[in-house]
Chains A and B, each alone.
Chain A
């Protein structure tokens, strides 16, 4: 290319580049539309079918608007009982996971030793373990070691095994943002270690305790794979849904779906709004 042609060539490239960019942006937008349709259409069908009088959940075969499935749900003792079981397990999981996760995070953030990577690997390993393996090992261990039959207790333990790891990661993330000078300042002013922990470290971690509890709660309520193996003859809301779905569909599950969707949408919107507000200052 000669010096003379160089200049116009440069001028030519710019619009062409813009054109490819517009083009790839358009493809991306189209793809996003498809993707979100893929994500949301099934959920919308599920919600719509909850209001269809057709006993087979459907939107194409519409037999009239009804709320009878909503009325039927609280009458269903196994679902209600399952919900109570789920809540009990979730409560247990929070009680176990928060202290364990907190202790693990506190140790890992301050342990200056080569063992810390090993310890870290062990403590996060449950996250990377398939849920059914966690459920099965818990079931086997408690039965063999203590004669505890699978049930709500083992389900809570099995869930806590990996939920505690999630809690730990959240606490670690928070602790990494802590200004250590604060603890030192408190210590320097004559506070005992316990006092520093109670008055400085714990208040700093409090927001994470709350979010970690919430996330533990949600994870516990939602869990299927681990619970399925560890719960024995008992059941939770979710394993009950699963058990029924294996034999056919019921609009009552759609109703549960609607409830979950509503809760999720409200929670997610609140979360995104809160995040935006804090992000804007």
Chain B
């Protein structure tokens, strides 16, 4: 049995310890906001936070996530500046990459509350958007940063 804490909730699961965390989140916990895009750690669709740090859940075996605090897109508050900015800038197109983008952006803003374009480039380049929404992602990150800076949002 493997014990996991996801979005503050405890789970005890009977899964093979080498199963990637992604597939445990999707197939066993049915938290389907975390997406699969490549399975190789090169698209970012599966990004979650492990103890507050953005990680590719397809590259982490579930046994290594045991005992850590796991946050998925479902665990980000609905009024979080990044989620709000994403809607205001109409970032999403097909939407498949967006939970991963948002998880990466939330983590970027945590470490760099006022990121410059080059910070955004280096952090967000791990996340593919096949619909090409990058320009709006950039705008939304700046906007979220501004909202937080002005004390409008967390």
Query: Are A and B bound to each other?
Result: no
